Structures are given as C-alpha cells and as structure tokens.
Structure 1
Amino acid sequence: MKKLSLMAMMAIAALSFQSCGGAKDSKDAADSTNAVKDTSTMAVKDTAGVTGAKGIAVDKDDAKFAVDAANGGMAEVAVAKVAETKALNQKVKDFAAMMVADHGKANDELMAIAKTKNITLPAAPSEDKQKELADLSKKSASDFDKAYVDAMVDGHKKTISMFEDAAKNCKDADLKAFAEKTLPTIKGHLAEIEAIKKGMK
C-alpha cells in the first residue's frame, strides 16, 4: 500500500512538474501545482496526526486567493524596499518602510497557513509584478515618488477588492480569518497613501 501511494505521489509530482514547465512564472507554477492536487485527501490524517502530503485542504478558489495574495504581498515588499532608498519625499519613505513591515508580517502569516493546508505559494512575484518593479526602478529620482504613490493607490484598491471578496467567500476558515484580519490594515494603507498623494499636489 505504501509503495502504491509513493508511486502515485511520484506520478503526480511528475505531472505537476511537466505542467509547470510551460508556466510563465512562479505564480503560474503555483496555480498549476495547486490545480493538480487532490482536494479530497487532506481531510484524513494518519494516526500520528500528520496530514498527507499529496492532497490540498482547500478548494481551488481559496488556493487561488492564497496564491494571488502571496504574489501581491511579495511584490509590495520588493517595490517598497526600492522606495525606501529611492524616494525623495520622507513621507513616501516612511510609507515604504510600513509596507515592508506590514506586508512582510502578512506574508509570513499566509505562508504558515498555506503550509498547514498544503497550498503551494509562488517563490517570487509574477513576471507582471517584476516588470512593474523594473519599470518603477528605472524612473528618475524626481519622477519616482509620484509613480510609486500612484502605483500604491491603484494597487491597494485592487488588493482591498480581492480581500473583501475572500473575507466574504473563502470556504476555508483560516484563510477567511486571515482576509478579515488583514483587510483593515490594507484599508489604512490606502487612506495613508491617498493623503500623501493629496499633499504632493
């Protein structure tokens, strides 16, 4: 029996590896890996209380939220680290430092939840996010602050929408609680960056 399940796991791993081969980036790879995981096997734990590694404990929409949230969170931290050194406006620098701290903490919490549910998260931000970061990094010092602030306003509006949807619709209690707990912080970020934007005019 053990041999059979080991062979099945190897087959699934081979399939997921092949499906990832065509994936464009880390986010796509995570989505592909989660898509081939069996959602029916995680409910059963062995006698030692260890959950089986071949299944996933959440449905595909919940797994997609976890991947999207991790992708956005990593991108927020990466771009904020650039802003900490490149921004000229002290309020923008302070906001960036807050992004590193708050999104870094949320990313760690999400990773811990994903680990218990056997959800594969991206190892790095998606190609789209990396392109946005590269484009922002190329801005001159005088243009950077405005571009970063605009990106943060737009990004936080989208993130709030995603987290509101998750807080309402996630079937997994832990992911739902994570979305509900994180939402006020993201809304606070939006209010703060909008105030900074107003002050820059």
Structure 2
Amino acid sequence: MKKAQVNIWLFFMLLGSAFAVVSCDTNDLDENNQRLTETDFVVKAANSDLFEIQTGRLASIKSNLTEVRELGQYLVMEHTNSSTQLKNLAELKKITIPDSLSEDKRVHRIRLASQTGAAFDKDFVNTQIIAHDEAISLYEQASRELQDPDLKNFAAKTLDALHTHREQVVMIKSKTDAL
C-alpha cells in the first residue's frame, strides 16, 4: 500500500513539474536574456562608424573608380556625423566607447588596405554591403529594444541614412562587378 502511495505522489510531482515547464514561456526568457543593452548598442554602433570611417578613407585614396572614391568620402562624412552624435549621447549616458576597431573589423580593414586596383574596389563594395546590412540589423534591433529614449530615437533616426548608404553601395556594385 505504501508503495502505491509513493508512486502516486511521484506521479503528481512529475506531472506538476511537467506543467511548470510547459507553462513557462521560453521565448520571453530568451528575449530577455538577449535583449540589446544600451551599452552593447553604443559600443557596436561606435565600432561600425569607426569601420566605415577608416575604410571610407581607404577608398577615397586607393580606388581606381571615381564613384568608389566619392562613396568613400561620403561614408567618411556621414559616419563622422553619426559618430559625433553617438559620442555625445554616450557621454550623457556615461557609456565608454571604443577608440579602436574590434578584432573582426580590424581584420577586414587590414585586408582592404593590402589590396589595390579592381580587387580593392570589388572587395570594398562587397564589404560595405555586408557592413551596412549588419548596421541596419543592429539599429533596427536598437529601435525596438532599447529602453533609453534618446538612444532609441538616435537608432530610429539613423536607420534611414543607413538604408540610403546601402542603396548607394548597391548601385556602385554593378560597376565594380564589371571590372
């Protein structure tokens, strides 16, 4: 008789545990654990701007195509402006931003710096498409998830410019693909 009571008790404990697990919304936990923080956004956005500035400068002096040189100069100007805005916000929020590229971005910049001619132009344009896709994804996430209204507004405002940059790069890609 005692064995039957223990089995029933164990059955209800397992049933209760299963119910608790099923009723727990794991999507909410994942989203909360992976929510983009203000600090993460500022650091990643600053890294993105720095990459665009450094590679844009490379394009403005290394490219054989006028369109790529002009694009490089344009990206330097645009990302210097957004970088300045971001730095001002970071100071207000007491967030330290990096003054050098992350390792993955540094590797891409070094690779670009080692190239010349058509190889540089093609790689630069392809790299810019990828970099802007990453930036757009980051800024979209920030405009959805950030709690700080100033940073959230900055992200939302900057998205239009990032989309415009990407569109310009894609237009130039047709020229570099023909090289």
Shorter-chain TM-score range: 0.7 to 0.9
Code of the aligned partner of 1:98: Y
For CA contacts below 8 A with separation 6 or more, give which structure has more relative contact order.
2
Code of the aligned partner of 1:174: D
Question: Aligned residue for 1:82?
Answer: 58
Question: Aligned residue for 2:163?
Answer: 187
- Kindly name which structure, 1 or 2, has the bigger radius of gyration based on alpha carbons: 2
Per the normalisation by structure 2, the TM-score is 0.77
Match of 2:145 among 159, 169, 179: 169
Report the Cα offset of residue 78 of structure 1: 0.5
Secondary structure of 1:109's match? helix
Q: Which runs of 5+ in 2 are unaligned?
A: 1-34
Question: Contact conserved, 2:112 with 2:124, CA < 8 A, in 1?
Answer: yes
Report the Cα offset of residue 199 of structure 1: 3.1
Q: Which aligned segments of 4 or more residues in structure 1 are displaced greater than 3 angstroms?
A: none
Identity among equivalent pairs (%): 30
Question: Aligned residue for 1:54?
Answer: none
Report the Cα offset of residue 142 of structure 1: 2.6
Match of 1:115 among 91, 99, 104: 91
Question: Aligned residue for 1:100?
Answer: 76
Report the Cα offset of residue 124 of structure 1: 1.1
Bigger fraction of residues in helix: 2
Distance 2:36 2:73 in 1: 33
Code of the aligned partner of 2:42: A
The correspondence of residues 1-201 of structure 1 with structure 2, limited to 5 A, is 61-200=37-176, 201=178
Secondary structure of 1:145's match? helix
Report the Cα offset of residue 198 of structure 1: 1.9
Code of the aligned partner of 1:65: F
Per the normalisation by structure 1, the TM-score is 0.69
Report the Cα offset of residue 60 of structure 1: 7.1
Q: How many residues align?
A: 143
Question: Contact conserved, 2:36 with 2:141, CA < 8 A, in 1?
Answer: no
Q: Which runs of 5+ in 1 are unaligned?
A: 1-58
| RMSD, matched Cα | 1.3
